[in-house]
């Protein structure tokens, strides 16, 4: 029986993950996952694709605040602007929406770390971002994730990749929310709906991979070998791109935990 072997929550998009023993599944994905984002002076989202040092920012949830730390920087708490109307327009890929701007102290902190004007933005309840209607139902929502509420990868898929590499890579190169053990490699490619514990999910689209997979999260720099993307191209390339992992949309809410059974319904 497949089981849930890891949970990853990324409080800030493109920054370091948390690895809790359990997580609450909400309509937009795991609670606290990618509810914060870093944007530039134009409100355009920033990621480790262009700013690999972002992977070394560690963010933890501290009540209503976000605590962040990074190499060479003093840890700080990120708070929302006191003015409840302090909203900022942001763009994530083709999505335009507004969120709550963080305080000026945190703006100076992240601007200094990244070497350019930047600020933290929070996705509050009024902020709405629809999932691509080609894959979703009416009313489906997503956080600041690239396109879908959750990403799942089987551990065996990574094992099969690492057998092809001279130097193995960790699962965090692919930044999944859920890792499943006890399946054949890429078994998830054939799944259409699953239950993790008591929570139901639709599996709606393979995940197209990009240069982000070549960022070493532990160093915040690009892997000079171009791996694992170079090897993935040799056996996971499709007309739609290089695919690794599957995107999920929750069909119910609730709590999931490590060791939960993963039941394939279709």
Closest to 257 measured CA to CA, from 215, 173, 189, 199: 199
**Which tokens sit at 235?**
């056996």
**Which tokens sit at 137?**
């139902």
Compute the distance between CA of residue 113 and CA of residue 111 in angstroms, rounded to an integer: 6
pLDDT by position in tens, the chain (length 266): 899 999 999 999 999 999 999 999 999 999 999 999 999 999 999 999 999 999 999 999 987 789 999 999 999 999 998 776 689 999 999 999 999 999 999 999 999 999 999 999 999 999 999 999 999 999 999 999 999 999 999 999 999 999 999 999 999 999 999 999 999 999 999 999 999 999 999 999 999 999 999 999 999 999 999 999 999 999 999 999 999 999 999 999 999 999 999 999 97
Would you state the pLDDT for residue 158?
98
Domain 3-30+131-264 has CATH 2.40.33.20: yes
Closest to 56 measured CA to CA, from 121, 110, 120: 110
**For tokens 């999920």, what's the residue?**
248
Residues linked to residue 179 through DSSP beta bridges, in sequence order = 6, 153
Q: Where in the chain is the domain with CATH 2.40.33.20?
A: 3-30+131-264
């Amino acid at each position: 029986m497949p089981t849930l072997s890891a949970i990853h929550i990324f409080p800030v998009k493109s920054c370091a993950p948390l690895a809790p023993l359990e997580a609450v599944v909400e309509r937009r994905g795991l609670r606290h996952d990618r509810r914060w984002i870093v944007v530039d002076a134009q409100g355009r989202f920033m990621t480790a694709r262009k700013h690999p040092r972002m992977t070394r920012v560690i963010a933890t949830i501290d009540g209503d605040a976000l605590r962040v730390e990074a190499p060479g920087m003093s840890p700080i708490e990120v708070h929302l602007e006191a003015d409840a109307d302090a909203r900022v327009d942001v763009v994530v890929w083709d999505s335009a929406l507004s969120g709550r701007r963080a305080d000026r102290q945190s703006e100076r902190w992240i601007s200094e770390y990244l070497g350019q004007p930047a600020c933290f933005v929070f996705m509050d309840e009024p902020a709405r971002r629809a999932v691509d209607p080609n894959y979703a139902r009416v009313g489906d929502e997503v956080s600041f994730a690239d396109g879908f509420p959750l990403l799942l990868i089987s551990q065996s898929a990574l094992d099969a990749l690492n057998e092809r590499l001279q130097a193995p890579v960790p699962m965090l190169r692919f930044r999944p929310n859920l890792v499943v053990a006890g399946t054949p490699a890429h078994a998830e490619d054939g799944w259409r709906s699953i239950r993790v514990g008591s929570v139901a999910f639709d599996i709606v689209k393979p995940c197209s991979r990009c240069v982000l997979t070549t960022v070493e999260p532990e160093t915040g720099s690009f892997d000079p070998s171009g791996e694992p993307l170079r090897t993935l191209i040799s056996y996971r390339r499709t007309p739609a791109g290089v695919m690794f992992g599957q995107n999920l949309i929750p069909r119910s809410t609730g709590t999931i935990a490590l060791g939960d059974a993963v039941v394939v319904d279709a």
